[in-house]
């Protein structure tokens, strides 16, 4: 498995862990929505994501330093471009849905828009990571 594929797996797992726990806590009522507790938990999820990403990427780079330092070849550049294009479309469709959701009376509120917006960004990041993993596995 190449370093770039490991990086995609690291992104997928760390985003699922951090924001899965955040949205899971909101959905189950462990953290009351639209409160300072949810704000602090969201902020700690972002910090945890950054720490996880940095630590896991450093570990992956230390396990195979030669692979981590190699420049991207043509295939890896193509995979990166395709996966980010897919993530861009997911983000744009999601943001259109967020704008439409703001016009639904039951969903009015700044924090609802924030939750939906962050959720769209998380789904877009996951779609990029999944697209990269699929393309690396498929050999595209």
Q: What is the pLDDT of residues 59-80, one digit of tens each?
A: 999 998 888 888 888 999 999 9
Closest to 60 (Cα-Cα) out of 3, 130, 12, 133: 3
SS3 140: coil
29-63: per-residue pLDDT in tens? 898 888 888 889 999 999 999 999 999 999 999 99
Q: In this structure, how many other beta carbons lie within 10 angstroms of the beta carbon of residue 97? A: 12
Q: What is the mean pLDDT of the chain?
A: 91
Q: Is the pTM of this model over 0.75?
A: yes
Domain range enclosing 104:
3-138
Domains in the chain, number: 1
SS3 90: helix
Closest to 118 (Cα-Cα) out of 16, 38, 24, 42: 42
């Amino acid at each position: 498995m190449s370093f770039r594929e490991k990086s995609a797996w690291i992104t997928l797992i760390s985003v699922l862990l951090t924001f899965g726990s955040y949205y899971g806590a909101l959905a189950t009522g462990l953290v009351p929505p639209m409160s300072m507790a949810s704000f602090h938990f969201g902020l700690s999820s972002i910090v945890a994501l950054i720490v996880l990403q940095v630590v896991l990427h450093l570990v992956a780079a230390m396990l195979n330093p030669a692979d981590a330092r190699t420049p991207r070849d043509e295939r890896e550049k193509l995979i990166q471009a395709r996966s980010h294009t897919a993530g861009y479309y997911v983000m744009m469709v999601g943001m259109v849905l967020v704008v439409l959701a703001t016009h639904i009376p039951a969903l009015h509120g700044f924090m609802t828009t924030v939750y939906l917006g962050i959720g769209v960004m998380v789904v877009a990041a996951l779609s990029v990571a999944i697209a990269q993993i699929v393309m690396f596995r498929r050999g595209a």
